[in-house]
């Protein structure tokens, strides 16, 4: 998709809000085992590396951006 967008608009890209929403389970030790999230992000980053190799100008990747947690309904 990064290649398609870049080929269409010919503008540098920044990817934002690419996280994975999933209910986390807290263990008795107080940790969260989220291998699924790590795998999800690794796969996306690998694909972005391939897009860069193809010539896509990518200048940023943020799984969550600065405004993702701001709710338009709650201020």
**Active-site residue numbers?**
17
Would you say 56 and 2 are in contact if contact means Cβ atoms under 8 Å apart? yes
Helix H or strand E encompassing 43? helix 35-53
What are the distances in angstroms from CA 74 to CA 8, 65, 71?
36, 18, 5
């Amino acid at each position: 998709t990064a290649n398609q967008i870049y080929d269409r608009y010919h503008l540098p890209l920044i990817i934002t809000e690419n996280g994975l929403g999933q209910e986390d389970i807290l263990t008795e030790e107080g940790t969260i085992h989220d291998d699924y999230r790590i795998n999800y992000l690794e796969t996306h980053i690998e694909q972005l590396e391939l897009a860069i190799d193809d010539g896509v100008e990518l200048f940023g990747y943020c799984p969550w951006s600065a405004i993702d947690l701001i709710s338009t309904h709650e201020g």
